[in-house]
Amino acid sequence: MNVLKKAVFVLLVVFLSSCKSDKKEASKLFKKENLIPWSIVGFDVKERTPKQRLEMLERLGYKQYAYGYRPKHLPTMAQEWQLAAQKNIKLSAVWLYVNLYKDSIGALRPDAEAVFKNLEKVGLKTQIWVGFYPEYFNDLTDAEALKQSVNMISYLSKRANKLGCKIALYNHGGWFGKPQNQLRIIKALPNEDLGVVFNFHHAHDSLDNYHENIKSLLPYLWSVSLNGMKAEGPKIITIGKGNLEKQMIQQLIDLNYRGPFNLLGHVKGGDPEVIIEQNYQGLQLLFSKK
């Protein structure tokens, strides 16, 4: 074998070893202990009770989930969290939706205030994923939007810290959902321990800047919600049914992001038990060892 052939052979071996290593790493990342079922409470055609929902998670093989509620779930919120603790199922996060038309510092509307009351009642220490009503920012200047967001996040973070919880910014559209604005908020509050939950399904408006965005968010990235992705939409599709999600996930891996990842159970009129499993299977196929 001449020198050129040897060099080509070595490069081929290195390439194949790298591919094998990447697939092995991906298979570790996407085990169920590194995946968080998300949006399984508010969108459930079967309207499961807390007990039924936790039994569903047990059937699927998950020991954690994130809790996103609707006002109708307020009466059973604390009960569900207590039952989850009894079953050793971790509440990885709780959703908090802020509408600055109705919420102000020191005076959250009742269904938002209930999150803090129940966190204190149960003694749950977890992340609080904060999304803002996007349309509120439409009539504000950039400076006004930044000031009001910083003030509200500062208030929420201080309240959360007193309970042993932390605030993560959740991209939910509008000014507040843009990664560059979330970074500005975080940097304006250097004494608060803030993170980011990045959601694929709310990122269709910034796909051209995706790599740049996640690279800048990486130091604060606490969780990533996965979804099938096509530039033209629709907004929510099964993982593996799009043509962009594998590349987007691989870029996270290449940046050394190691999870956790969230699996959506969110389809109006759908059964989250079916949807979560479909997303899990789609993710496994995307990063199959074959």
pTM: 0.90
The pLDDT value recorded for residue 269 is: 79
Residue 210 near residue 203, CB atoms below 8 Å: yes
172 contacts: CB under 8 Å, gap ≥ 6: 131, 132, 134, 199, 202
For 66, list phi and psi in degrees, rounded to 5. -110, 140
The pLDDT value recorded for residue 6 is: 55
The pLDDT value recorded for residue 257 is: 97
Chain centre distance of CA 201: 10
Chain centre distance of CA 261: 7
Burial of 233 (0-12, 13-18, 19+ CB in 10 A): exposed
- Mean pLDDT, contiguous 10-residue spans, the chain (290 residues): 50 46 69 96 95 98 97 97 98 98 97 98 98 96 98 98 98 96 98 97 95 97 97 94 97 96 90 97 86
* 256: three-class secondary structure by DSSP: coil
Tokens of 176: 């507040």
CATH of domain 30-286: 3.20.20.150
* 228: three-class secondary structure by DSSP: strand
The pLDDT value recorded for residue 91 is: 98
Residue 244 near residue 229, CB atoms below 8 Å: yes
* Kind and range of the H or E run holding 119: helix 110-122
CA nearest neighbour of 54 among 25, 101, 89, 78: 89
> Can you give the residue ranges of every domain in the chain?
30-286
